[in-house]
Amino acid sequence: MEYVSKILVALVAIEHLYILVLEMFLWTKPRTQKIFGIKKADVETTKVLAANQGLYNGFLAAGLIWGVLHPNPIVGTQIEIFFLLCVLIAAIYGGFTAKKSIIIVQGVPALLALVSLFFV
């Protein structure tokens, strides 16, 4: 089960690295606009805010990767729990304030990874 947990945590990290790329580097692309439901007219005015959000998603990914790679498994698990809780809280908040699908797209993978850590 330990390997399954590590894989799930790593997948959440990869997802947040992907979000970082979308928000920091591809915000003005039509595909990104479609993914986030951003109107073309709003892209330029939200570009800096999106880049800031992307940076925060990068911090979440970095923390999760840190937990997965930490040489002490107990400390690594504690780090993973902290960052998965951060992702989960952000997903719930984003689902209520921005777009409901955030709860599914970001919250569910984080919750599954979090639950898996308690079965290790």
Using one digit for the tens of pLDDT, what is the confidence trace for 21-48? Answer: 999 999 999 999 999 999 999 999 999 9
Total tally of structural domains belonging to the chain:
1
pLDDT at 69: 98
Q: Could you report the per-residue pLDDT of 93-115, keeping only the tens digit for each? A: 999 999 999 999 999 999 999 99
b (16+ CB within 10 A) / e for 31-56: ebbeebebeeeebeeeeeebeebbee
- % of the chain exceeding 70 in pLDDT: 100
Residue 81 above 90 pLDDT? yes
- Residue 1 burial (10 A CB sphere; 0-12, 13-18, 19+): exposed
Quote the CA–CA distance of 60 and 83 in Å, as a whole number. Answer: 6
Please give the residue range of the domain that contains residue 66.
Answer: 2-117
